[in-house]
Amino acid sequence: MVPLQGNGPFSIEVNGVKIYAHTFLLLDDKSPNADQLIMKDLDVYIHYDDVKFKFSNLSQGGIVGSSINLAMDIVGRSIVNKQKKLIADKIVEVFHMLITDYL
């Protein structure tokens, strides 16, 4: 392990984010609620092009700090990928709430 230290701002930049959602609506004219649309199988997919982690002044900057930032970009992809499910679940929750209010 290499001890890390630094003093400065930290940022995560996620570039080229695309969010795709897919669902279908049913209208069952034979049901007691024939005037209601039913939303089925809302799927959300999240894609991004690139992730950049930036720790300013990490290990007093220089070549060591730059190298650590590059390594964090690689590790950061797995961190962002683990958060995609959480974000997609929240999008589904909000979408259901909006559609329920609208319909």
What tens digit of pLDDT does each residue of 30-81 get? 777 777 777 788 899 999 998 888 877 766 667 777 787 788 888 888 888 8
Which residues lie closer than 8 Å to 51 by C-beta, 6 or more apart? 12, 13, 14, 15, 73, 76, 77, 80
Phi, psi of 63 (to 5 degrees): -65, -35
Residue 24 and residue 41 in contact, taking contact as beta carbons nearer than 8 Å? yes
pTM tops 0.85, yes or no:
no
pLDDT of residue 28: 77
